Amino acid sequence: MAVLTLRDDQVLDIVLQLPDNRRSWLFRQLLQYEWPTWLNLSVYAAEQARKVAADRGLDWDSMPEEEREGLVDTLLHEPG
């Protein structure tokens, strides 16, 4: 069996060529391997973001990144 040896930058180049959904999957797999509790926290945070957005009449999943950042910024600076 042949062994392929790649430098770190070559691996990164290959990963960056993946479609977005596969790259995200790979990222989640690596994070789960290194920090198993990260995945649970990430899922919880996403659920909370969707809930807070919905409470304000917004759809988190359809919001552009700038709007999401704006909502988070507003929440962080709300008196409370």
pTM for this model (two decimals): 0.57
DSSP 8-state code for residue 56: T
pLDDT at 39: 80
Contacts of 14 (CB under 8 A, 6+ apart): 6
Indicate the helix (H) or strand (E) that contains 71: helix 65-77
Residue pair 50/61 in contact (Cβ under 8 Å)? The answer is yes
Give the Cα separation of 21 and 57 in Å (integer). Answer: 27
pLDDT at 4: 92
Residues 7-29 have pLDDT tens digits of 999 999 999 999 999 999 999 88
Residues 39-65 have pLDDT tens digits of 888 889 999 999 999 999 999 999 999
State the number of CA atoms in the 13 A half-sphere of 77 facing the CB: 6
